[in-house]
Chains A and B, each alone.
Chain A
């Protein structure tokens, strides 16, 4: 059983890739550790000082809208965030996060407050709020993407399989998280 534990850092609705990592830092994009120091700074100015290994980033509506820069999920991952919990997520960001091996879990995040201690059970698809006491379930990651996620992202997946291998039982009936 895979469980993750950490505190919630709440980011709110409509967090764009420009909030996550502004275009003005494009000159640092080939220096990811330096770039990662600016993760989330236009949305949560004290993010860098608060985030600890294993924490969860909590979004609201349409998390990750905007550009295709994969630097966005990369800097979130590098900051120590173990999973993103959000009410809904933009398409490109979702695929990028899975490709980087970061779970994006679609659930009702209203009952989560900033600083709450959470326990996420990836197999069961549940989030237990250890501070608030509530329990919420999330939509499971679609099967094909789950394989990519479990193998650590798209690059490790392709290194292993050399191609896209889509088992017949995963198609159709596949649905990507909204």
Chain B
């Protein structure tokens, strides 16, 4: 029987499973971040476990609140350090970067099964890993037993042809798709991307697309592995981890979407739901007090290159704060080397240490009453950036950089 990509990956661990079955599978990576990790640790201990099944396949990241803005969160970091020491799990350092970027750089490879205590764990689907976010009970048990259960999801095929017009990127595509599907349009499904456009689609773009699969409710957002995957692994010294995994021709898809990238425009998601998406022309002129370029969605080198290209030799608007946060230490180093960070600083930006920064409203860019932010992140829920009286618009790095100059939401095609 022809298999979807989801059935293929899970089937390589539990032969013969198909959509609808329950599969109990061994995990190639279990990870936690610092705001959900402490509960994972407590639940692990509460269950009476003392040993992590495979500590070499388990890591804690300090990214959401690092360095910590409060004593409570500092104590949570201490708890995570103690647990890592006792169990032999790995722990990343403050400033290493956002968990999902580090998983992509260091761990994820085609065919892996990954769970993380963070909903954007789906990001690693770009590397053809079956990666999904879970709550702390599931992750605690995943650490203890080295396995978890999945219901094998049905799949939607997203067939991509053509190429992006200038000023349009993967972020615009995924916003467009979420607008079309709705925030619950793919609940419980696997999104599987395929088609002739993939050849041209870089890994950073794929990561940003897979990252937001969860915003349509999906369980995973999968790309087949190909030369782009192999190149990315090679760049990160992991070419040996490459293997070719793709869906079978004639696999059974519950829904099929066909999109020609040539028709996608720069898109903006309006407050307060991610599926509230319109072309940037509909947002033109909306005043913004903050622009945030970063996060596990769009804080990669390619994103910073686009933003630096727009901002070079220019100043950000005096009434608009510009915050830039590279997604990892490596990206920060590369961006320094390539002069992007200098460009941002000259443009008036604040450079934030690699991590989640302003994304979840804990620190480093909390919005004031009535303020609006244009962010390259993935969520614009009410209160997300720390204040229910503020407004979040989501867009691509190109749109964000163009808007930082004018102080209002701006079509990047006018500047390019």
Contact = CB atoms under 8 A, between A and B. Distances in A.
Interface of A: 14, 16, 18-19, 22-24, 26-31, 42, 61-62, 65-71, 73, 88-92, 95-96, 99-100, 142, 144, 153-155, 158-159, 163-164, 166, 170-176, 178
19 contacts: A18-B383, A24-B386, A26-B65, A28-B72, A30-B39, A62-B183, A62-B184, A62-B217, A66-B119, A68-B133, A69-B36, A70-B135, A96-B135, A99-B138, A164-B145, A164-B147, A164-B148, A170-B22, A176-B151
Contact of B35 (A26, A95, A175, A178): A26
Nearest to A97: B135
Interface bin, chain B: 35 or more
B109 interface: no
Interface string B130-157: 0001111110110011011101000000
A155 B47 contact: yes
A26 B362 contact: yes
Contacts of B362: 23-24, 26-27
A14 B138 CA distance: 24
Contact of A66 (B46, B361, B379): B379
Nearest to B149: A164
Contacts, number: 167
A164 B38 CA distance: 24
Interface in B137-181: 137-138, 140-141, 144-145, 147-149, 151
Interface of B: 18, 20-22, 24, 35-36, 38-39, 42-43, 46-48, 64-65, 69-70, 72-73, 75-76, 79, 116-119, 121, 133-138, 140-141, 144-145, 147-149, 151, 183-184, 187-188, 214, 217, 219, 273, 360-362, 366, 379, 381-384, 386-388
Contact of B38 (A29, A155, A170): A29
B72 A31 contact: yes
B163 to A, nearest CB: 32
A43 B300 CA distance: 33
Contacts of A95: 134-135, 138
B53 to A, nearest CB: 12
Nearest to B74: A27
Contact of B46 (A69, A155, A173): A155
B188 A176 contact: yes
A144 B24 CA distance: 12
B187 A24 contact: no
B187 A91 contact: yes
A20 B343 CA distance: 40
Nearest to A162: B145
A62 B187 CA distance: 9
A68 B22 contact: no
A71 B42 CA distance: 12
Given A22-B384, A88-B184, A172-B18, 16 more contacts: A16-B379, A29-B35, A42-B388, A67-B119, A68-B121, A68-B134, A69-B35, A91-B187, A91-B219, A96-B138, A99-B135, A171-B22, A172-B20, A172-B21, A173-B20, A176-B188
